[in-house]
Amino acid sequence: MVSMVPAAISLFDATSLLHAFGPWVLLGIGVVVFIESGVLFPFLPGDSLLVTAAILSASLGIAPWQIAVVGIVAAFVGDQVGFWLGRDFGRRLFRDDARLLKTSRLHEAESFFARYGALSLVLGRFVPIVRTYVPFAAGTAGMHWRRFTIWNVVGGVTWVVAMTLIGVLLGGIPFVAHNIDVLSIVIVVVSVLPVVIGALRSRRTRRRAATSEHDDTALTR
């Protein structure tokens, strides 16, 4: 049996990944979006995959509306899985020293959820890593399932439609159409920026807190 994704294909290269899916490209898109949305494996090219698929839709033999439909369904189901994993297992799946399910990543998602509430299910869609763990955080926080589902639909539709439309619009620009690889890198960099900025802010806050604690200790001596 031939593997759907050859071993030589990088999971992080949206263009080569889409071509590797061959006639199963829609199924491949659905699987990637599903996994990234809530199965606790955040390191997949969700944003760039949807945008690139829309740009290359003609050569891939698919239509943008098909990409949108498959993406929305996969995003919705993935979030549902993440929510119920959080509801049923809570924080027990995470460890401080884990390679993938790090407690620190869950803390970031929980902080994001605490700050934005149900709206985080929409805003978090546009932030890599956060979009994977926010549904889980909603489950651990005991968010009502019906309320979660409504915002899940809004977030999934908004994200997938936005990424697909961006791809359709960019696909009409000759330079973009001939430089897909560069565009994929730009999308990844831009989408990861909020995570990097948040990490830097957290690091600075911890340093300030440590410095303040050190100063207070010195004064009491």
Residue 203 pLDDT level (bands cut at 50, 70, 90): low
Answer left, alpha or beta for residue 6, where phi above 0 means left and psi between -120 and 50 means alpha.
beta
Please check the confidence at residue 194 and state whether its pLDDT lies above 80.
Answer: no
Please check the confidence at residue 34 and state whether its pLDDT lies above 70.
Answer: yes
pLDDT at 78: 94
Q: Could you give the CA distance from residue 33 to residue 54 in angstroms, rounded to a whole number?
A: 14
pLDDT at 69: 97
pLDDT at 5: 43
Residues 6+ apart with CB under 8 A from 158: 122, 125
Task: Give the three-state DSSP class for 84.
Answer: helix
Question: Residue range 108-115: average pLDDT?
Answer: 81
Question: Residue range 32-52: average pLDDT?
Answer: 83
Hey, what are 175's tokens? 């330079």
Q: What is the mean pLDDT of the chain?
A: 79
Q: Which of 71-75, 87-91, 187-191 has the highest mean pLDDT?
A: 71-75
What's the longest Cα–Cα distance across the chain? 73
Residue 116 pLDDT level (bands cut at 50, 70, 90): confident
Q: Could you give the CA distance from residue 213 to residue 37 in angstroms, rounded to a whole number?
A: 39
User: Model's pTM, two decimal places?
Assistant: 0.74
Q: Evaluate whether 166 touches 49 at the Cβ level (below 8 Å).
A: no
pLDDT at 4: 44
Question: Residue range 21-40: average pLDDT?
Answer: 91
Residue 219 pLDDT level (bands cut at 50, 70, 90): low
